[in-house]
Amino acid sequence: MKKLSLITFGVIAFFAVVAFSTSKKTTSNEPLKIVIDAGHGGKDLGTTDESILEKNITLKLLQKIKKLHNTKDFELIFTRENDEFISLEERVKIANKNNADFVISLHVNASNNKNDNGIEAYTKTNNTEQKTISFVSSLVTELSFNNSPLQKTEMRKANFKILRDSKAPAVLLELGFISNPQNKAYITSEKGQEEVAEAILKSLKKMK
Ligand SMILES: [Zn+2]
């Protein structure tokens, strides 16, 4: 009986070692590579409302994310850091070349209906990516703590190039409607942009 339990223990120990070495691989200490893609830029203004240009808001958001990033858990890679035109092909190439673990494309929305508000999160059409779903739900939770006007969130699937052709899980975020007065005031303000940047960073921190 004693001998048997010793053998059993040995078998369990063997599997434990195997499990440990495999799990070690997946939870490596290598920082995750997160690509932040500020939508539009240069001649591509994105959506506009009088003097407000989507390409400037997405760049401001990116700059806030860069400034507030203070963890070694993940490294940030940017597709643009200036007001320059970068093709969609180039954006995808940057993500794939860097072996990104996750891609976030930043945008803001506009609609003919001034009442339309909140976030639209677009995912791949074949999306079953738990990473993306957890990221978006965390983002919404973080924003709700701040009483942000960007709490209403819809998750949709889309065949956008940045989603389709990025090898990594990817999400395209439409962060509020500049056609909605409350959303516009929030997403063009320093405070609003910092809250959104912070919520994105906190949600990335949970990703391991
Ligand atoms: Zn856009």
Residue 24 has pLDDT above 60, yes or no: no
Distance 39 CA to ligand 1 centre (A): 5
87: left (phi over 0), alpha (psi -120 to 50) or beta: beta
Average pLDDT of the segment spanning 64-89: 97
More confident residue, 126 or 108: 108
Q: Is 90 a catalytic residue?
A: no
Domain boundaries, the chain: 1-30, 31-205
Ligand 1 mean position, distance from CA 142 (Å): 23
Q: Which residues contact 9 (CB under 8 A, 6 or more apart)?
A: none
Catalytic pick from 54, 120, 142, 174? 174
pLDDT surpassing 90 at residue 9: no
pLDDT of residue 129: 80
Cα angle 106, 142, 172; round to 5: 20
Please, where are the H alpha helices in 27-152? 54-68, 88-97, 130-145
Per the listing, tokens 């009088």 go with: 50
Residue range 31-205 in CATH 3.40.630.40: yes
pTM for this entry: 0.85
Dist. CA 3–CA 6, nearest whole Å: 5
